[in-house]
C-alpha cells in the first residue's frame, strides 16, 4: 500500500509528461483523488499502535547499503493524510488559471507529491535523503517556469540555500552509517542506536548538522531569508505546496530523524534551539505586522507559526510533539485557505497590496465570512483547528520554561494583531475603485473553500481521532528521553 501511495502519483505524472493531454488538470485531479482514496484505505486499515505498518523492504543498491524501506506509523500517517488531502485541493484551486504547458505543470505537482509521501514514509536514512532532495526539483521548476518577476535569482537562492542544508544532513547521515556495527546499514533503528551510542561531543555536532538542514527547510529564524521572496514569487499552487506541505518536511525530519538519533545532543543544545525558534516567532510576527503585501504577510506569519511548532517539538514532551503533529495538519489546511483567498482577491483586483484593497465585505459577503473563519483558525480561536495545536504547543513550552512559554504565547496576540489588521484593510471599510466590481465566490471557489472550513472546524471541535493516530508512535519515539531521566543520565 505504501508503495502504491508513493508510485501512483509518479505514474500519473509520467503519463502526463508522455501523453501531454490537453485537459491535463482533469487527469491530475483524478489521479490525486485516487491517491486520496488510497490514503483513506490506509487510515481505515491502520492499527493504532506504535509499529510501522504496510512495511516494504527490498534492497536497492546493495553496495551502498541502500534499501527501499518504507512504512507508515502514526506520525507518518498524519502527514501522508495531509499531503493526499491538500494536493487535490491545490490542483482543484488552480483550475481557473490557464498555465502554459499544463501537462508539465501538473506532472511536476504530482511528482512533488510522490517525493513528499516518500519523505514521510522512508525507513532508510539514504532513501529519506533521496526523497528529500527529489522533492526540491519539481518545486524549483514550478517556481522557475511559472513564477513571477525576478524568479531566476530568487529561486536559485532558494535552491542553493536548501541544498546547502541538506548536504550537511547527508554528511551527518553518512557519518552515522559508518557508526553502525558490522555490515553498515541505513536502517532507521540501526541509525538510532548508532547515534545514541556516540559520545556527547559528537552528538552535538551531528545535532547541528541535522538541525540546520531541517531549520532551513521550515524555515526557522535565522535561516528564513529565502522564504518570503520565494513564497511571493512562486505561482500560487507552488506557494501552497511550499507552505502547506513542504515546510512540514522540516518538522517531520526533526521529529523522526533528529530527536531520536542524538538524544544527548538534543539535551545539550535543545534549549538553544528552542530559544532561536521563539525569537523567530516574535521576530516574524513583528515583521508580518508591518507588511504591505498580502502574500508576504502570510509568508512571515508562516515563519511565526512554524517557529512555534519547532519549539514545541523540541520540548521533548509528548504534549509538545503531539501539538506539533496536530498543528502541522491545521497549519497546512489554514495556510492553503489563506493563499487561495489571496489568489481569489488577486485574480479580481490584480493586486497584493493591502492599501489598494478594502470594502470587500460589502460586495462579497460569502468570501468575507470564509475569510473570517480561516483567519480565526489562524489566530487559534477555540473550536478551530488552530487552537488545539497552539494550545498544546504553548502548554508544553510553558512546562519546559515558563518565560519562554509566555513569550511564545505572544504569537497568539501578535497573530491576532496582523490578521485582524489584514481583515480590516481588505474586507471592511468602503469599497474603492479596485474592489468596486468585486464578484462573490463562484461555485468552483466554494467547492475548494468549503472543505477547508469544514476541516478547520471539525479538527477544532473533535481532534481526538487524529491525536489518537499519532499518540503511541510519539510516546514510543520519546521513550529514549524518559529512559534517560529514569537512569539519571
Chosen residue from 171, 420, 431, 458 binding other proteins by CB under 8 A: 171
Q: Which is nearer to other proteins, 174 or 279 (CB)?
A: 174
Chosen residue from 145, 282, 289, 410 binding other proteins by CB under 8 A: 145
Query: What single string gives the DSSP state of each residue in 454-484?
Result: HHHHHHHH--HHHHHHHHHHHHHHHHHHHHH
Q: Which is nearer to other proteins, 70 or 375 (CB)?
A: 70
CA 481 from chain center: how many Å? 26
Tell whether residue 293 is a contact of other proteins (CB under 8 A). Answer: no
Tell whether residue 175 is a contact of other proteins (CB under 8 A). Answer: yes
Rounded-to-integer distance, Cα 236 and Cα 242, Å? 10
Kindly state the helix (H) or strand (E) to which residue 205 belongs, with its residue range.
helix 200-217
Query: Do the beta carbons of residue 453 and residue 304 sit within 8 Å?
Result: no
Kindly state the helix (H) or strand (E) to which residue 54 belongs, with its residue range.
strand 53-61
Q: Which is nearer to other proteins, 134 or 431 (CB)?
A: 134
Tell whether residue 487 is a contact of other proteins (CB under 8 A). Answer: no
- Closest contact distance (angstroms) between CB of 434 and other proteins is 29
Phi and psi at 58, nearest 5°, equal -125, 140
Here the cell at position 188 is: 532507521
- Closest contact distance (angstroms) between CB of 410 and other proteins is 36
User: Measuring CA to CA, how many Å separate 310 from each of 30, 84, 306?
Assistant: 34, 23, 6
Tell whether residue 461 is a contact of other proteins (CB under 8 A). Answer: no
Query: Do the beta carbons of residue 217 and residue 250 sit within 8 Å?
Result: yes
Tell whether residue 7 is a contact of other proteins (CB under 8 A). Answer: no
- Closest contact distance (angstroms) between CB of 87 and other proteins is 21
Chosen residue from 30, 41, 61, 413 binding other proteins by CB under 8 A: 61
Here the cell at position 435 is: 474592489
Tell whether residue 178 is a contact of other proteins (CB under 8 A). Answer: yes
Tell whether residue 64 is a contact of other proteins (CB under 8 A). Answer: yes
Residue whose C-alpha cell is 555490515:
183
Q: Which of residues 111-130 bind other proteins (CB under 8 A)?
A: 129-130
Instruction: Pick the piece of the chain touching other proteins (CB under 8 A) from 153-161, 190-198, 355-363, 386-394.
Output: 153-161
- Closest contact distance (angstroms) between CB of 164 and other proteins is 5
Chosen residue from 19, 41, 156, 461 binding other proteins by CB under 8 A: 156
Tell whether residue 141 is a contact of other proteins (CB under 8 A). Answer: yes
Q: Which of residues 211-250 bind other proteins (CB under 8 A)?
A: none
Tell whether residue 170 is a contact of other proteins (CB under 8 A). Answer: yes
User: Measuring CA to CA, how many Å separate 69 from each of 127, 227, 489?
Assistant: 8, 32, 33
Q: Which is nearer to other proteins, 65 or 332 (CB)?
A: 65
Query: Do the beta carbons of residue 147 and residue 295 sit within 8 Å?
Result: no
Three-state SS for 349-382 is: HCCCEHHHCCCHHHHCHHHHHHHHHHHHHHCCCC
Q: Which is nearer to other proteins, 52 or 226 (CB)?
A: 226
Chosen residue from 34, 43, 167, 381 binding other proteins by CB under 8 A: 167
| Count of other CB atoms within 10 angstroms of residue 160 | 11
Q: Which is nearer to other proteins, 64 or 201 (CB)?
A: 64
- Closest contact distance (angstroms) between CB of 401 and other proteins is 33
Tell whether residue 14 is a contact of other proteins (CB under 8 A). Answer: no
Rounded-to-integer distance, Cα 240 and Cα 87, Å? 9
Question: Does the N-terminal peptide bond of residue 222 adopt cis geometry, omega within 30 degrees of 0?
Answer: yes
- Please, is 59 exposed, middle or buried when counting C-beta atoms within 10 Å of its C-beta (0-12, 13-18, 19+)? exposed
- Closest contact distance (angstroms) between CB of 124 and other proteins is 13
Query: Do the beta carbons of residue 299 and residue 243 sit within 8 Å?
Result: yes
Closest CA to 450 of 340, 325, 301: 340
Q: Which is nearer to other proteins, 174 or 286 (CB)?
A: 174
Judged by CB under 8 A, the number of residues near other proteins is: 29
Instruction: Pick the piece of the chain touching other proteins (CB under 8 A) from 8-16, 27-35, 137-145, 215-223.
Output: 137-145
Chosen residue from 43, 50, 133, 356 binding other proteins by CB under 8 A: 133
Kindly state the helix (H) or strand (E) to which residue 72 belongs, with its residue range.
strand 66-72
Tell whether residue 174 is a contact of other proteins (CB under 8 A). Answer: yes
Rounded-to-integer distance, Cα 303 and Cα 387, Å? 17
- Closest contact distance (angstroms) between CB of 43 and other proteins is 29
Query: Do the beta carbons of residue 123 and residue 225 sit within 8 Å?
Result: no
- Closest contact distance (angstroms) between CB of 147 and other proteins is 8
Here the cell at position 255 is: 521529529
Rounded-to-integer distance, Cα 402 and Cα 398, Å? 4
Q: Which is nearer to other proteins, 118 or 318 (CB)?
A: 118
Cα Rg of the chain, angstroms: 22
Rounded-to-integer distance, Cα 49 and Cα 46, Å? 9
Tell whether residue 168 is a contact of other proteins (CB under 8 A). Answer: yes
- Binding residues for other proteins, rule: CB under 8 A, are 61-64, 129-130, 133-134, 136-137, 141, 144-145, 151-152, 155-156, 159-160, 163-164, 167-168, 170-171, 174-175, 177-178
Amino acid at each position: 500500500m505504501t508503495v502504491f501511495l508513493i508510485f501512483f502519483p509518479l505514474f500519473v505524472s509520467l503519463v502526463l509528461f508522455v501523453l501531454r493531454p490537453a485537459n491535463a488538470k482533469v487527469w491530475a485531479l483524478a489521479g490525486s483523488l485516487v491517491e486520496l482514496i488510497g490514503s483513506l484505505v490506509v487510515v481505515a486499515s491502520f492499527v493504532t499502535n506504535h509499529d510501522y505498518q504496510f512495511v516494504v523492504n527490498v534492497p536497492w543498491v546493495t553496495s551502498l547499503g541502500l534499501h527501499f524501506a518504507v512504512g507508515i506509523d502514526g506520525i507518518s500517517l498524519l502527514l501522508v493524510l495531509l499531503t493526499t488531502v491538500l494536493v487535490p485541493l491545490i490542483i482543484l484551486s488552480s483550475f481557473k488559471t490557464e498555465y502554459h504547458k499544463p501537462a508539465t505543470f501538473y506532472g511536476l505537482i504530482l511528482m512533488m507529491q510522490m517525493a513528499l509521501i516518500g519523505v514521510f514514509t522512508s525507513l532508510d536514512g539514504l532513501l529519506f535523503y533521496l526523497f528529500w532532495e527529489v522533492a526540491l526539483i519539481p518545486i524549483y521548476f514550478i517556481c522557475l517556469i511559472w513564477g513571477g518577476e525576478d524568479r531566476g535569482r530568487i529561486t536559485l537562492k532558494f535552491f542553493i540555500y536548501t541544498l546547502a542544508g541538506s548536504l550537511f544532513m547527508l554528511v551527518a547521515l553518512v557519518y552515522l552509517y559508518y557508526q553502525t556495527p558490522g555490515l553498515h546499514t541505513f536502517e532507521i533503528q540501526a541509525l538510532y542506536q548508532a547515534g545514541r551510542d556516540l559520545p556527547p561531543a559528537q552528538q552535538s555536532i551531528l545535532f547541528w548538522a541535522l538541525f540546520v538542514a531541517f531549520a532551513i527547510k521550515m524555515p526557522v529564524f535565522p535561516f528564513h531569508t529565502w522564504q518570503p521572496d520565494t513564497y511571493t514569487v512562486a505561482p500560487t499552487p507552488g506557494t501552497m505546496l511550499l507552505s502547506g506541505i513542504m515546510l512540514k518536511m522540516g518538522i517531520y525530519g526533526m521529529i523522526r530523524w533528529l530527536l531520536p538519533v542524538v538524544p544527548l545532543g538534543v539535551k545539550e543544545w535543545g534549549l538553544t534551539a528552542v530559544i532561536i525558534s521563539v525569537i523567530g516567532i516574535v521576530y516574524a510576527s513583528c515583521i508580518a505586522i508591518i507588511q504591505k503585501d498580502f502574500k508576504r504577510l502570510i509568508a512571515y506569519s508562516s515563519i511565526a507559526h512554524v517557529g512555534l511548532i519547532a519549539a514545541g517539538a523540541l520540548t521533548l514532551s509528548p504534549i509538545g510533539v503531539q501539538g506539533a503533529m496536530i498543528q502541522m495538519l491545521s497549519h497546512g489546511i489554514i495556510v492553503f485557505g489563506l493563499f487561495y483567498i489571496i489568489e481569489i482577491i488577486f485574480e479580481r483586483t490584480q493586486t497584493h497590496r493591502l492599501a489598494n484593497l478594502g470594502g470587500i465585505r460589502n460586495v462579497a459577503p460569502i468570501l468575507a465570512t470564509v475569510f473570517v473563519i480561516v483567519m480565526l483558525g489562524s489566530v487559534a480561536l477555540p473550536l478551530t483547528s488552530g487552537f488545539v495545536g497552539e494550545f498544546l504547543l504553548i502548554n508544553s513550552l510553558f512546562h519546559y520554561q515558563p518565560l519562554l512559554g509566555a513569550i511564545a504565547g505572544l504569537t497568539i496576540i501578535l497573530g491576532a494583531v496582523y490578521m485582524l489588521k489584514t481583515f480590516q484593510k481588505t474586507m471592511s471599510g468602503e469599497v474603492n475603485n479596485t474592489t468596486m466590481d468585486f464578484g462573490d465566490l463562484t461555485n468552483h471557489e466554494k467547492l475548494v473553500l468549503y472543505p477547508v472550513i469544514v476541516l478547520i472546524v471539525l479538527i477544532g471541535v473533535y481532534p481526538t481521532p487524529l491525536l489518537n493516530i499519532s499518540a503511541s508512535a510519539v510516546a514510543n519515539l520519546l521513550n529514549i528521553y524518559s529512559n534517560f531521566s529514569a537512569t539519571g543520565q
